[in-house]
Structure 1
Amino acid sequence: MATPTTYVASAVVSAVTPLASAPPEYNSEPAWKLPGWAEPVIVTSILFFACFYTRRKYYSVFSSKAPYKSLLDAQSYEFSPTSSRSSSSGDSSPSREGPWSSDDEDESTGFSTSKNLPKQRNCCGVIILTPNSSRFAENWHSRVLYKFPFLMEMFYWILTYAIYRVSHILSQEMFSDDIWDTAQANGLSVLAAEQFTPLRFILPIQEITVQKWFMNGHEGLLTFLNKAYALIHIPGSVFFIAWYYYSAPTHSIFATVRRTVTLCNFLAFTVFALFPCMPPRLLPKEYGFIDTVRRDDAQSVWMSGKFVNHLAAMPSMHFGWSFMIGCTLIYHSGVLGCVGLSYGGRKGKSVQIVGKWWKIWYCALGIAYPTMILVTIIATANHYWLDAIAGGLVGAVALLCNRVFLVLIPLEDLLLWVLRIEKPKPNCGASRR
């Protein structure tokens, strides 16, 4: 008996015209392949090098010669509903202006830290009391965090991956055995929207045309793109967070980018669960797409196995991440200072933290990286054009709404209390140098 999903899939399939000719052949010899352990070692090395490089060199976990300093040490005044938020890093106010900067989520409304009084957090305009974990500052795990504060970023990465797994499981539970039919219908509906709506004037070049161009006479370049798709996304994203943790002028600005990236992931995970979408490479062969990454034996260890959601084409987080990275690099270069988009902002003097050649490099890389990823995801048949557009839109929404995560600060206070850990003052940006 046909299900409603089957009827939807049939209707969408009939709307998109399969290729009249046979699918193109891709007979490239398998390129070199990294051993299975190489990618985890690369990512782990980046993370631990970041921990080591941003450590507090003159602080000993075992026998500290300097007093432990927590996030609360810079705030010694009594709480007042009219008091303003103070900086825990002591940075000047101009660096906090501009569309990318905001008050750090690690800074709290004024409160006294004497005698371990409860923290007073402002949550949606309501002042609530949370446990003060400063009494645990000398616990061994608190001291380890103070020595290596980047470990906190690693913890949030693990939490984000856990939520990705939950979205995958939730999607499978919601659509049960029909998930592949539903995902195929959704994928074909994306193609139909590109080909039979006004979007065809905005996207005149079809995905299959791009892939055919690379497979007919440009196989070597396609092999490079296959490797780029498999091996750059995860290590590159991890390296970006590690680099910006050190390079951002203040932790407040870094936290804004980190919250934006995290919210972008959460929004994408929600779409993955509610709108499973089959990528072009998994569509029936009569539509002509070839899974060149796996034909070239170039798949990543992170993108195979049961822990990967293969029906998560919409939106494209490959492009969404690269788009956010590109915007951050251009912003970091300072070339947009003439329009007030700089670390100084419109109200303050533009703050330039890189030299001329570095400015050119960051700007060029900020344009080239997302452009390369866009070409890659289309040429390898892993995403549709609309996936990339949706990825960019999700990133823009995340930037505008990233402060929504500030409402979770009380939960972080409770978690730290349960774990008997005092969160240390961040060691990045100008506060480190």
Structure 2
Amino acid sequence: MPHAETLSTEAAPRTRLRWWTELPLILLVYACYSAGRLLVGGDVSKAVDHGLAILKIEKALHLNAEHPLNRLFTREAWIGIPADFWYASLHYAVTPAILIFLFRSRSRHYQAARTWLMTSTFIGLIGFTLLPTCPPRLLADGHGFVDTMAQYSSYGWWGGDASAPKGLGGLTNQYAAMPSLHCGWALWCGVILWRFGGTRLTKVAAVVYPLVTTIVVMGTANHYFLDAVAGAAVMGAGFLLTPYVMRVANRVRVQLVARFAPGAAGSGGTQTSAPASIVSGGCQTSTGERIPWQREPRAEPSAAPQDAGDSAAAPAR
């Protein structure tokens, strides 16, 4: 993956990442995404029309796997209940866990992977805005879908409003189905696990996790197959845009540091304080200050003046 190697090396910043800056950033981006997803409600009748159009296209292309999977999940509780737990929890647990793994063990690649995920997520939000889509479970009964999350709601914390906890269904937009970021995020997790996991077990998980997630979102009637395809396309677009997003972000960061950092240029653009003496790469100290474990400088003995008579002549050879 030469392009992925470029993401992790050339576009990576020189600064050291800190968890106390990364965590608020990720939470802020996720809050913006959740709020935007909620605000983009869309027209319900238009969303239903989009859902029916997708279903019609799938039937024409013989891609309609949602009906047999949904019948299986509805009939066999031992499949449907674990699938509902999979849909309601892993999306919010596996992705942060892999981000933490990257941050702690593969920090050189973390920022590119994180930027890829965030960029793709915002592209998905644009998709929700432009194409509100009714998921299969919300179509009229005549279309043959059963909402397994509602059917098995007594086994979990969710109600009849997708994976939202009971009583909080009004805080989610149920017509944000296209693209499926359940599938998109699962694909991101699979790529990261395949590339950086390092063991045979992680490579198996890299394949199984996105594949099973795709089956789950269709079997629970939360997404169409084409939603999953769109989720993969969104992740691909985010991957291609990541180097450019990182360059812009790094340029903005450098400008902000130059503008607001202590000792930076004042209103007239000139420095207001004398620069600190540079001791080693990136480590600055003020005059008289010592870095830890720095040895005290050894004083050189002053040369005493000598009389001409005190100087001994060099012996002749």
TM-score, structure 2 length as denominator? 0.71
Residue 294 of structure 1 is matched in structure 2 by: 150
8 Å Cα contact 1:267-1:394 kept in structure 2: yes
Which residue of structure 2 lines up, in the alignment, with residue 262 of structure 1?
A: 118
185, 191, 210: which is aligned to 2:55?
191
> Which of 221, 230, 248 is the matching residue for 2:79?
221
- What is the SS of the residue equivalent to 2:178? coil
Describe the superposition over 1:269-314 as per-residue Cα deviations: whole angstroms up to 9, x where unpaired: 1111111111111111111211111321132457943332211111
Which residue of 2 is the match for residue 339 of structure 1?
none
- Partner Cα separation in structure 2 for residue 279 and residue 418 of structure 1: 48
Tell me what 2:287 maps to: none
Determine which of 278, 286, 291 is the counterpart of 2:134.
278
2:260 is aligned with 1:396: no
Q: Deviations over 1:206-253 (max 9, x none)?
A: 31111112323x2211111011111111022111111121121x42x2
**Structure 2 unaligned runs (5+)?**
263-281, 283-317
2: CA distance, partners of 1:374 / 1:247: 28
1:240 and 2:115 aligned = no
The structural deviation recorded for 1:407 is: 0.8
The total of aligned residue pairs comes to 253
In the alignment, the residues of structure 2 paired with residue 274 and residue 310 of structure 1 have an alpha-carbon distance, to the nearest angstrom, of 15
Contact 1:211/1:380 (<8 A) preserved: yes
In 2, distance between residues paired with 1:256 and 1:412? 16
Instruction: Please give the alpha-carbon distance, in whole angstroms, between the structure 2 residues aligned to 1:279 and 1:229.
Output: 14
Sequence identity (%) = 25
> Residue in 2 aligned with 1:167?
36
Tell me: higher relative CO, structure 1 or 2? Use CA pairs within 8 A at least 6 residues apart.
Answer: 1
CA distance in 2, matches of 1:270, 1:102: 29
Deviation at 1:393, TM superposition (A): 1.2
Quick one: distance in 1 between partners of 2:170 and 2:261? 35
Residue equivalent to 2:209:
369
Whole-angstrom CA distance in 1 between matches of 2:3 and 2:125:
30
Q: Are positions 1:211 and 2:51 aligned together?
A: no
Contact 2:65 2:218 in 1 (8 A): no
Conservation of the 8 A alpha-carbon contact between 1:165 and 1:307: no
Whose radius of gyration is greater, 1 or 2?
2
Structure 1 residues 413 and 165: alpha-carbon distance in aligned structure 2, compared to 1, 3 A threshold: farther
- After TM superposition, the structure 1 = structure 2 runs for residues 313-328 of structure 1, keeping only pairs within 5 Å, are 313-328=177-192
For 1:273 and 1:309, locate their aligned partners in 2 and report how far apart those are by CA, in whole Å: 11
Partner amino acid, structure 1, of 2:193: L
- Structure 1 counterpart of 2:9: 102
Residues 363 and 287 from structure 1, CA distance in 2 versus in 1: closer, same or farther, beyond 3 angstroms? same
Aligned match of 1:329 = 193
Determine the C-alpha separation between the residues in 2 that align with 1:419 and 1:371: 47
- Cα distance in 2 between the residues matched to 1:97 and 1:207: 33
Task: Summarize the Cα distance change of 1:241–1:302 in structure 2 as closer, same or farther, 3 Å threshold.
Answer: farther
Find out whether 1:408 has 2:249 as its counterpart: yes
Take 1:97 and 1:279, find their aligned partners in 2: how far apart are those partners? Answer: 33
What amino acid is aligned across from residue 67 of structure 2 in structure 1? Answer: I
Identify the match of residue 150 of structure 1 among 11, 16, 19: 19
For 1:307 and 1:161, the matched residues in 2 are separated by: 15
- Amino acid of the residue matched to residue 195 of structure 1? K
3-state DSSP class of the match of 1:232? helix
Deviation per residue, 1:362-411 (Å, 9 max, x gap): 11110111111111101100000001111111111211221222213344
Question: In 2, Cα distance between the equivalents of 1:258 and 1:302?
Answer: 27
Structure 1 residues without counterparts, runs of 5 or longer: 1-94, 109-145, 334-353, 426-433
For the aligned residue pairs, the C-alpha RMSD in angstroms reads 2.9
Task: Report the CA distance shift for 1:269/1:242 in structure 2 as closer, same or farther (over 3 A).
Answer: same
Partner of 2:134, secondary structure, is: coil
Counterpart CA distance in 1 for 2:194 and 2:70 is 29
Q: Rate the CA distance shift 1:151–1:307 in 2: closer, same or farther, 3 A.
A: farther
- Asked if the contact 1:302/1:308 (under 8 Å) is kept, the reply is no
Aligned equivalents of 2:256, 2:121: Cα separation in 1: 22
Aligned equivalent of 1:89: none
Give the secondary-structure state (helix, strand or coil) at the position aligned to 2:169. coil
**Residue 159 to residue 288, structure 1, CA distance change in 2 (3 Å):** same
- How high is the TM-score relative to the length of structure 1? 0.53
Determine if contact 1:171/1:274 at 8 Å carries over to the other structure. Answer: no
Give SS of 1:382's match: coil
Looking at structure 2, the residues matched to 227 and 180 of structure 1 have their Cα atoms a distance apart, in angstroms, of: 27
